[in-house]
Structure 1
Amino acid sequence: MVVERVPARRVVGLAAPALVVLAAEPLYVLVDTAVVGHLGALPLAGLALGGVLFTQVATQLTFLSYGTTARTARLFGAGRRAEAVAEGVQATWLALAVGALVIVLGQLLAGPATRLLVGDEVVAAEAVSWLRIALFGAPMVLVTMAGNGWMRGVQDTRRPLRYVLFGNAVSAVLCPLLVHTAGWGLEGSAVANVVAQLLSAGLFLRALVVERVPLRPVPALMRAQLGMGRDLVLRSLAFQACFLSAASVAARTSVAAVGAHQVVLQLWTFLALVLDSLAIAAQSIVGAFLGADRREDAKGFARQVTGYGLVFGSCLGVLFAALSGVIPGLFTGDAGVLGEIPNAWWFFVALQPIAGVVFALDGVLLGAGDAAFLRTATLLSAAAGFLPLIWLSLAFGWGLSGIWTGLSAFMALRLVAVVLRTRSGRWAVPGAAV
Structure 2
Amino acid sequence: MLPSTGQHRPVANARLLAAQQLQPCLSIPHTPQRLRCKAVLKASHRPCSQPAAAQLPQPCLAAAAPQRPQRLQRSVAARAAAADMGGSHSIDLSSSWSMPRRLQQLLKPSKYDAELLHLAVPALAAMMLEPLMNVLSAAFMGHLGTKQLGAVSLASLATSLATYVFSFLVFLTTPRVAAAHANGDSKTVNRLAAVGLWLALGTGLLVAVSLSFSAEAIVHALNPPEPEVSAYAVQYITVRSWGILAAMLGFVASGTYRGVKDTRTPLNAAIGAALTHITLTPLFILGFDWGVAGAALAATISQWVSCVMLLSLMFKRQLLHAADLLQPPRWHEVSPYLWKGAVLALRMVVTFGMVMFASAICVRAGAASQAAFEIIRQVWIISITFFESLNVATQAMAAGFLGRHDRTSAREVLQRALHLSCFAGLILGLLLFAWRGPLVGLFTKDAAVALLGGAVMPVIALCMPIDAGASIMDGGLIAAGQTNALSVVQVAGSLVQYAVLAVLVSRGYDSVAYVWGVLKVLSLARLSGGYWLHFVSGGSAYLHRGGVSSPQQQQQQ
What TM bracket, shorter-length normalisation?
over 0.9
Question: CA–CA distance in 2 between the matches of 1:15 and 1:237?
Answer: 27
Match in the other structure for 2:237 = 131
Question: CA–CA distance in 2 between the matches of 1:52 and 1:176?
Answer: 23
Give 2:494's aligned amino acid. A
Q: Return the index of the structure with the highest Cα Rg.
A: 2
Q: Does 1:199 align with 2:305?
A: yes
Q: How does 1:395-434 map to 2 (within 5 A)?
A: 395-398=506-509, 399-424=511-536, 426-428=539-541, 429-431=548-550, 433=552, 434=554
Superposition TM-score, scaled by structure 1 size: 0.95
Deviates more, 1:105-114 or 1:326-335: 105-114
Give 1:427's aligned amino acid. S
Deviates more, 1:220-229 or 1:170-179: 220-229
Q: Is the 8 A contact 2:480 2:551 kept in 1?
A: no
Match in the other structure for 1:391 = 502
CA distance 1:294–1:106, change in 2 (3 Å) = same
Match in the other structure for 2:177 = 72
Residue number among 154, 159, 169 corresponding to 2:265 in the alignment: 159
Question: CA–CA distance in 2 between the matches of 1:82 and 1:20?
Answer: 31
Match in the other structure for 2:440 = 328
Question: CA–CA distance in 2 between the matches of 1:23 and 1:145?
Answer: 16
Give 2:419's aligned amino acid. G
Alpha-carbon shift at residue 286 of structure 1 (Å): 0.8
Alpha-carbon shift at residue 355 of structure 1 (Å): 0.8
Q: How does 1:218-367 map to 2 (within 5 A)?
A: 218-219=329-330, 220-367=332-479
Q: Deviations over 1:8-38 (max 9, x none)?
A: 1210111111122223432332221122222
Q: Is the 8 A contact 1:235 1:375 kept in 2?
A: yes
Alpha-carbon shift at residue 3 of structure 1 (Å): 5.0
Question: CA–CA distance in 1 between the matches of 2:116 and 2:530?
Answer: 20
Question: CA–CA distance in 1 between the matches of 2:450 and 2:135?
Answer: 23
Question: CA–CA distance in 1 between the matches of 2:437 and 2:295?
Answer: 36
Q: Is the 8 A contact 1:292 1:432 kept in 2?
A: no
Give 1:115's aligned amino acid. H
Match in the other structure for 1:380 = 492
Question: CA–CA distance in 2 between the matches of 1:410 and 1:65?
Answer: 22
Alpha-carbon shift at residue 331 of structure 1 (Å): 0.7
Question: CA–CA distance in 1 between the matches of 2:430 and 2:480?
Answer: 32
Give 1:266's aligned amino acid. Q
Residue number among 131, 147, 159 corresponding to 1:26 in the alignment: 131
Superposition TM-score, scaled by structure 2 size: 0.75
Q: Does 1:51 align with 2:164?
A: no
CA distance 1:360–1:340, change in 2 (3 Å) = same
Give 1:430's aligned amino acid. S
Question: CA–CA distance in 2 between the matches of 1:327 and 1:350?
Answer: 16
Alignment partner of 1:326: what SS? helix
Gaps of at least 5 residues in structure 1 are: none
Q: Is the 8 A contact 1:81 1:154 kept in 2?
A: no
Alignment partner of 1:331: what SS? coil
Higher helix fraction: Structure 1 or Structure 2? Answer: 1
Gaps of at least 5 residues in structure 2 are: 1-83, 89-109, 542-547
Alpha-carbon shift at residue 337 of structure 1 (Å): 0.9
Residue number among 218, 225, 228 corresponding to 1:113 in the alignment: 218
Q: How does 1:131-150 map to 2 (within 5 A)?
A: 131-150=237-256
Give 2:310's aligned amino acid. F
Q: Is the 8 A contact 1:302 1:422 kept in 2?
A: no
Question: CA–CA distance in 2 between the matches of 1:400 and 1:198?
Answer: 38
Q: Deviations over 1:158-205 (max 9, x none)?
A: 011101110111111011111111222221111212222222111122
Give 2:214's aligned amino acid. L
Larger RCO, structures 1/2 (Cα 8 Å, 6+ apart):
1
Match in the other structure for 2:482 = 370
Q: Is the 8 A contact 2:198 2:329 kept in 1?
A: no
Q: Is the 8 A contact 1:137 1:194 kept in 2?
A: yes
Deviates more, 1:48-57 or 1:156-165: 48-57
Alignment partner of 2:436: what SS? coil
Alignment partner of 1:293: what SS? coil
Q: Is the 8 A contact 2:479 2:551 kept in 1?
A: no
Q: Is the 8 A contact 2:280 2:298 kept in 1?
A: yes
Q: Is the 8 A contact 1:79 1:292 kept in 2?
A: no
Question: CA–CA distance in 2 between the matches of 1:191 and 1:369?
Answer: 36
Alpha-carbon shift at residue 432 of structure 1 (Å): 5.6
Q: Deviations over 1:309-349 (max 9, x none)?
A: 11111111011111012101111111111121234211111
Q: Does 1:190 align with 2:296?
A: yes
Deviates more, 1:14-23 or 1:256-265: 14-23
Question: CA–CA distance in 2 between the matches of 1:339 and 1:249?
Answer: 18
Match in the other structure for 1:16 = 121
Q: Is the 8 A contact 1:389 1:402 kept in 2?
A: no
Q: Deviations over 1:340-389 (max 9, x none)?
A: 123421111101011111111111111001111111111111112x2122
Question: CA–CA distance in 1 between the matches of 2:186 and 2:463?
Answer: 39
Q: Is the 8 A contact 2:369 2:452 kept in 1?
A: yes
Question: CA–CA distance in 2 between the matches of 1:10 and 1:404?
Answer: 35
Deviates more, 1:307-316 or 1:103-112: 103-112
Percent of counterpart pairs with the same letter?
25
Give 1:420's aligned amino acid. W
Deviates more, 1:402-411 or 1:348-357: 402-411
Aligned residue pairs, count: 433
Moved beyond 4 Å, runs of 4+: 1-6
Match in the other structure for 2:43 = none
Deviates more, 1:309-318 or 1:402-411: 402-411
Residue number among 284, 309, 314 corresponding to 1:208 in the alignment: 314
Match in the other structure for 1:99 = 204
CA distance 1:409–1:192, change in 2 (3 Å) = closer
CA distance 1:97–1:25, change in 2 (3 Å) = farther
Deviates more, 1:184-193 or 1:312-321: 184-193
Q: Deviations over 1:373-419 (max 9, x none)?
A: 111111111112x2122222321222122212212322222222111
Alignment partner of 1:183: what SS? coil
Q: Deviations over 1:79-119 (max 9, x none)?
A: 21331232122211211111110122102321111122124
Alignment partner of 1:230: what SS? helix
Question: CA–CA distance in 1 between the matches of 2:398 and 2:550?
Answer: 12
Alpha-carbon shift at residue 157 of structure 1 (Å): 0.6
